[in-house]
Structure 1
Amino acid sequence: MTVLLIVFEEKLRLTRTADLSDPVEANASTPLLCGPHTSARTGEHDGRLSGVEVAFAPWAAFTLFGTALQPLANEAVGLHELLSTRADDLTDALASAVGWRDRFALLDTVLWEWARRGPEHSARVAWAWQELARKAGAVPIPALARRAGWSQRQMEKRFREQIGLTPKTTARVFRLQRALQLLVSGLSSAEVAVLAGYHDQAHFGHECKAMTGHAPCRFLARRAAGGQDPSFTDRFEGQATGVLLPATARAEGAA
């Protein structure tokens, strides 16, 4: 997914798990657009946070924001850098709106207008992305390209532009999402590896560590600990998208 973050009064600090020394910050004057990513980020705030988060399929973000997605892969950039005054106008209007109903209505109106004016995405890219999502990445990429009516090289070029990741990397992300769902459902790592299509348990463990910052057992432990906090919830329904870290665990990474 590609995510738009607009924080009204407080601050949200985002850092890559692999590089905690390189943070970006979302605040009232700096909304962020976060591209599709293959590694974890840690989000920190002071305990209270108000704002808007909107998740888009990457190909929809390509149209909405009128920019190639490849430079945004694994990055979070200021929306002003992409949209200039349009970003400032949206942020100011949302912050000054009377209530959440008005904010959501305003956001719908603005995004529809941006989509209408933006570059048209490829229907074949959208179909291929949805097919990878539907099958949790278990689709041979050459066969997917043939079904889309492209060579593999053509599809990779379009994916880099309108998804931000290659088809193979996109498949990795969807496969891990499926694997984590199976893991939190109570299956063992060995069972997950088989059902999600990994070579073996070690392969699953390596992918989980690389993309979430945690080995499978540590990921489960962190989720169990975070589940005791009533404020913890996954960002996307039906997905095991993260863990809640105590302040002292910042250096250990997060999903």
Structure 2
Amino acid sequence: MHEERAPYEERASRLRGAVAWTRAPAPPGTTGRVLPDGCMDLLLWNGELVVAGPDTRAYLTTERLGLGVYGLRLPPGTGPRVFGTPAWELRDQRIPLAALWPGKQVCELHERVAQARDPLAALESIAAGRLTAERHAAADPRGAALVETVVAELRDGAGVAEVARRAGLSERQLHRRCRDAFGYGAKTLARVLRMQRALCLATAGTPLAETAVRAGYADQAHLAREVRALAGAPMTELVRGGG
């Protein structure tokens, strides 16, 4: 299958840790590769509001209508708070928002986003409203704090047992928390975050052998195996394509 990359731009969102992004219109049938990143997205894609669940492997997309794509990439663990659904229920899927929220509400939101001068700002407003409602509903703030801590420690290379111990949880308890927040366990999240770090290093021009060491792989062969398993393509191809 031939893959093409339409022009892509992103900016920091006004939601802490989120990224707002756009992809220019591409001819129908154009395909792309979305890599696992630990995140969930709210999209205006192919003319409808769509939730991109957390991926455990590369997700291959196909443009149906040749329209531009607008997206809000939520930081790891934030998606369930916005969409009201445990992340594991959306793992490796693209789901119409209308499958999760009342149809009338989604129709109104779609009209708002589609007619907005800045569709990205409209997507941000939807997510911000949900997060505000959650805070007003007296949700346990310790849950969000735990999610942030787990992500930060795994990014720093901490092992799963160490993360669980610091959080005062058993590894089984941590696994359950992670499935709800990220869609999969801490071990898978660590693999995804490590690959993303390696991709950033390699894209910046770091030699692959050095990339492997700095990202926490045993060696370059280990890096190659993990990237192939998660991304479905070699690192050299991902770097040429811009990720």
Short-chain TM bin: 0.7 to 0.9
> Partner of 2:81 in structure 1?
63
> 1:131 aligned to 153, 157, 162, which one?
153
Distance 2:107 2:227 in 1: 38
Which residue type is aligned with residue 113 of structure 1?
G
**2:20–2:120 contact (8 Å) kept in structure 1:** no
> Partner of 2:171 in structure 1?
152
Please list the CA deviations of residues 158-214 of structure 1 after superposition, one character each: whole Å capped at 9, or x if unmatched.
110111121111110111111112222323322222222212221111111112221
> 2:133 aligned to 95, 117, 140, which one?
117
Distance 1:64 1:78 in 2: 14
Q: How much does 1:12 deviate?
A: 8.4
User: Structure 1 residue 188 and structure 2 residue 185: aligned?
Assistant: no
Identity of paired residues, percent?
A: 30
Distance 1:40 1:104 in 2: 24
> Partner of 1:250 in structure 2?
none
> 1:211 aligned to 230, 234, 237, which one?
230
Q: In angstroms, what is the RMSD of aligned CA positions?
A: 3.3
Which residue type is aligned with residue 149 of structure 2?
W
Between 173-182 and 124-133, the greater mean CA deviation after superposition: 124-133
> 2:97 aligned to 53, 58, 79, which one?
79
Please list the CA deviations of residues 194-247 of structure 1 after superposition, one character each: whole Å capped at 9, or x if unmatched.
222212221111111112221123333x33xxxxxxxxxxxxxxxx6x2xxxxx
> 1:42 aligned to 60, 63, 69, which one?
60
Distance 1:217 1:6 in 2: 25
Distance 1:205 1:187 in 2: 15
Distance 1:105 1:141 in 2: 37
Which residue type is aligned with residue 129 of structure 1?
V
User: Structure 1 residue 201 and structure 2 residue 223: aligned?
Assistant: no
Distance 1:12 1:124 in 2: 41
**1:160–1:166 contact (8 Å) kept in structure 2:** yes
TM-score, length of structure 1 as denominator length: 0.70
Distance 1:165 1:31 in 2: 24
In the TM superposition, what are the counterparts of 1:84-123 in structure 2 within 5 Å?
A: 84-85=102-103, 86-97=105-116, 99-100=117-118, 103-118=119-134, 120=139, 122=143, 123=145
**2:72–2:124 contact (8 Å) kept in structure 1:** no
**2:53–2:94 contact (8 Å) kept in structure 1:** yes
**1:15–1:43 contact (8 Å) kept in structure 2:** yes
**2:52–2:93 contact (8 Å) kept in structure 1:** yes
**1:2–1:34 contact (8 Å) kept in structure 2:** no
Q: How many residues align?
A: 209
TM-score, length of structure 2 as denominator length: 0.73
Rate the CA distance shift 1:204–1:145 in 2: closer, same or farther, 3 A: same
Rate the CA distance shift 1:196–1:5 in 2: closer, same or farther, 3 A: closer
SS in 1 for 2:100: helix
Unaligned runs of 5+ in 1: 18-24, 224-239, 243-255
Unaligned runs of 5+ in 2: 1-16, 35-43
SS in 1 for 2:199: helix
